[in-house]
């Protein structure tokens, strides 16, 4: 069981295609791992044992008939509770959607399945993905497999833990304010927040979609290796008629870009713990050995980008999650988070101020584009503190401010729609993973993946 559930997705698919392993064997091994670990960790809210077995048997028959099973043949993957999969309700981690079974799969799920991958379970999350921790009243808390006295971050925490522990080989999450990169960094795996438009999101139907959700949120993969991220990205990317902002973009020519990376160890000089600084240093050393030139940088207008992300996000959350408009209340922790974060963030009170904030986004994006013309990649921390305790983002306005400040480089990426890859960069003093992120220009996702491979192979 351990050997199969630790194999990278690409190796699993190759073994299944070569009939060295059957898809049924692969699924059974992952189901046994789920049975052993999930009752304690609570990473997966639903396990698709019978449906996954049936899908695996169908795939084995496809291979036996000499047909192409796809590049992800037999690879078990988890699907976050916010992404449509017809096998169970898309709850968003909220009681009010406990019975909301979708009529069709999200495009990202369909593309994974068409590539031969098999859904194995649903990944836990916070209510509507609001919090930077994975907990809700519907399913409960997901525990960190390294230390259950530490958070697993959020909101794609269930998928991150499932991948890290071998319950799934890949995970599908989404990232509005670090929700892929943070949990990936907390459990020592890799995560891709793709460029705005590169990977389709939820279909837009009749309900309006908040502007921040349109601009800041993307779907993306989690995996144990950067190579698996790249494989999933190849499968997932591309235009989708149901998503009005999705794009068909030619792969970025990584060989044409200068091999120069800007390093920021303590963004804005607000402080970074030694363990995190050491992780950035280790990643920088690996990149230097791989032939990259490293220079020190201060990302432009970073504080304004992070502040505007926060104020715009909280303004939209107050409007879209107004308790008077919801059929059931939010969970207890989500209610506290929404109250404290919005109070601390100073949401926009007038349409003119809201519009002016979006106008400033273009100015900030232009400044970052000029920097990226000089240094095509930026290396920096995910969080500037070590993996915190559960509920670190609760406890009043002071805690809300501290959480946002520690994640300033994360949320600026969301504000600008840029691609970023999180990759492990060693351990801290207690043996907990430390992650770093590589931030690329818009639609240069392949460049961030290439540099992340060099970090991974150099450590």
Which residues lie across from 131 on neighbouring strands?
none
Q: At what angle do helices 23-41 and 9-17 cross, to 10 degrees?
A: 150
Choice among 80, 151, 156, 383 that is catalytic: 80
> Cα separation of 221 and 431, whole Å?
25
The full length of the chain comes to: 459
246 catalytic, yes or no?
no
Tokens describing residue 303? 């504080």
DSSP alpha helix (H) spans, 290-407: 302-320, 332-345, 351-374, 397-406
Cite the beta strand spans of 197-310 per DSSP E.
Answer: 218-223, 260-263, 293-296
Contacts of residue 302, Cβ cutoff 8 Å, sequence gap at least 6 = 267, 268, 408, 409, 412
> Cα separation of 18 and 16, whole Å?
5
> Cα separation of 111 and 131, whole Å?
28
Choice among 179, 195, 333, 336 that is catalytic: 179
> Cα separation of 397 and 385, whole Å?
18
Q: What is the dihedral of CA 222, 223, 228, 233, to 10 degrees?
A: 0
- E strand or H helix at 145: none
168 catalytic, yes or no?
no
**Residues 426/282, Cβ–Cβ less than 8 Å:** yes
Cite the beta strand spans of 26-163 per DSSP E.
Answer: 44-47, 76-80, 118-123
Choice among 155, 168, 246, 383 that is catalytic: 155
Q: Which residues are part of the catalytic machinery?
A: 80, 155, 179
């Amino acid at each position: 069981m351990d050997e199969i559930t630790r194999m990278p997705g690409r190796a699993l698919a190759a073994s299944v295609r070569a009939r060295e392993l059957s898809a049924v064997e692969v699924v059974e091994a992952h189901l046994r791992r789920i049975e052993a670990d999930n009752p304690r960790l609570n990473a997966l809210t639903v396990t698709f044992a019978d449906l996954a077995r049936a899908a695996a048997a169908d795939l084995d028959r496809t291979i036996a008939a000499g047909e192409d099973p796809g590049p992800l043949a037999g690879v078990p993957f988890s699907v976050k509770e916010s992404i449509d999969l017809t096998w169970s309700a898309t709850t968003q981690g909220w009681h009010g959607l406990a019975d909301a079974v979708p009529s069709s799969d999200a495009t990202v799920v369909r593309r994974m399945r068409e590539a031969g991958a098999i859904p194995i379970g649903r990944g836990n999350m916070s209510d509507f993905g609001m919090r930077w921790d994975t907990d809700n009243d519907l399913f409960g808390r997901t525990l960190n497999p390294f230390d259950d006295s530490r958070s697993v971050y959020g909101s794609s925490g269930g998928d991150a833990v499932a991948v890290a522990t071998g319950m799934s080989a890949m995970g599908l999450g989404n990232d509005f304010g670090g929700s892929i990169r943070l949990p990936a960094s907390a459990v020592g795996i890799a995560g891709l927040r793709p460029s705005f438009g590169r990977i389709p999101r939820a279909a837009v139907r009749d309900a309006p979609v908040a502007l921040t959700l349109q601009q800041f949120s993307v779907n993306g993969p989690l995996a144990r290796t950067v190579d698996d991220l790249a494989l999933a990205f190849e499968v997932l990317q591309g235009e989708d008629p149901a998503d009005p902002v999705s794009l068909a973009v030619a792969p970025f020519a990584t060989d044409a870009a200068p091999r120069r990376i800007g390093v920021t160890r303590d963004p804005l000089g607000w402080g970074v713990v030694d363990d995190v600084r050491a992780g950035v240093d280790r990643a920088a050393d690996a990149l230097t050995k791989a032939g990259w030139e490293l220079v020190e940088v201060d990302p432009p207008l970073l504080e304004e980008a992070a502040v505007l992300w926060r104020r715009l996000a909280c303004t939209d959350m107050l409007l879209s999650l107004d308790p008077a408009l919801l059929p059931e209340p939010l969970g207890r922790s989500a209610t506290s988070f929404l109250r404290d974060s919005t109070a601390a963030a100073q949401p926009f009170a007038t349409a003119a101020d809201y519009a002016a904030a979006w106008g400033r986004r273009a100015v900030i994006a232009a400044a970052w584009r000029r920097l990226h013309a000089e240094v095509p990649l930026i290396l920096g921390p995910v969080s500037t503190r070590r993996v915190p305790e559960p509920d670190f983002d609760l406890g009043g306005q002071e805690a809300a401010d501290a959480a946002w400040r520690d994640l300033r480089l994360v949320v600026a990426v969301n504000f600008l729609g840029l691609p970023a890859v999180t990759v492990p960069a060693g351990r801290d003093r207690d043996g907990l993973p430390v992650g770093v992120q590589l931030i690329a220009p818009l639609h240069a996702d392949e460049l961030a993946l290439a540099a992340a491979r060099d970090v991974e192979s150099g450590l």
